[in-house]
Amino acid sequence: MNCQTYLSVLQDSLGTDQETAERATRAVASVLGERIGADEARVFAGHLPPEVAAWLHTAGGARSFDAEEFVRRVAEREGTNPDTAERHIIAVLGAISQALPEREYDHLLARLSKDYAPLLPKAAVAPTMSTRAFVSRVAQRSRIDDASSMRVAEAVLQTLAERITAGEVRDLTARLPVLLHGALKRGAAQADSAARKMPPDELLRRIERRAGVGPDQAREYIRAVLATVREATREEFFDVTVQLPAEYRDLIAVGPAHR
């Protein structure tokens, strides 16, 4: 694949102009190079258009930062917001996946931790929902604006992560948008044996406090967030909720999936 073909693939994916496609590729490739290290970058560079390979160049060994930090670095270098950076990362990695031979692409995937799954091309992993779509659906269900919706989603996910097992948190992290990973990680870091056993009324109180709302609103927000988690994660939603005691059923009951 030459550079023009690569950029055409990316422009079609993003629905944007060549300048934006080049800027997104430069930011994503440079951060990817840092993540995998100089030796690995040289292996992959040999299969990419020379212009793209130059942006992948880095010095030193691999740096073990997570997907959330990957998005932050790309947003900073591209001069955009994290939501846009997340969308650009998915598109750029998709275009790169088409340029690399299958064996090399599988090797690249093996270099990345499980929490990178939501950033990978959909052909490589089960489909996931973008941050923008997730927040919009929670907002629609809760009848609030997007800024409030993000705060609500983080409050619910952080508290849920305190209650469920570390393995279930990892599974959710692999399927939910990267910009929600921070809330899950905070909850997992704060979890202890008492939190793992918290009854539903305590979970509700924590969400009330974090979201700054009363119990009726908190109940509505829990159901809105969990209904959206179900759409985004499918099997993982079942795995999480089936582990909760029967007394949680009324609190976590969600309606039919969004159509």
107-158 tens-digit pLDDT: 888 889 989 989 987 544 445 688 999 999 999 999 999 999 999 999 999 9
What is the spatial distance between Cα 190 and Cα 111, in angstroms, rounded to a whole number? 28
Distance in angstroms between the alpha carbons of the first and the last residue of the chain: 38
Q: What domains are defined for the chain? A: 3-119 (1.10.490.110), 131-252 (1.10.490.110)
Residues 6 or more apart whose Cβ sits within 8 Å of residue 160: 187, 203, 240
Threshold 0.75, pTM exceeds? yes
What is the spatial distance between Cα 201 and Cα 151, in angstroms, rounded to a whole number? 20
What is the spatial distance between Cα 67 and Cα 85, in angstroms, rounded to a whole number? 12
Burial class of 129 by CB neighbour count within 10 A (0 to 12, 13 to 18, 19+): buried
Which tens digits make up the pLDDT trace of 150-179? 999 999 999 999 999 888 999 899 889 999
Amino acid at 214: G
Q: What is the pLDDT of residue 122?
A: 58
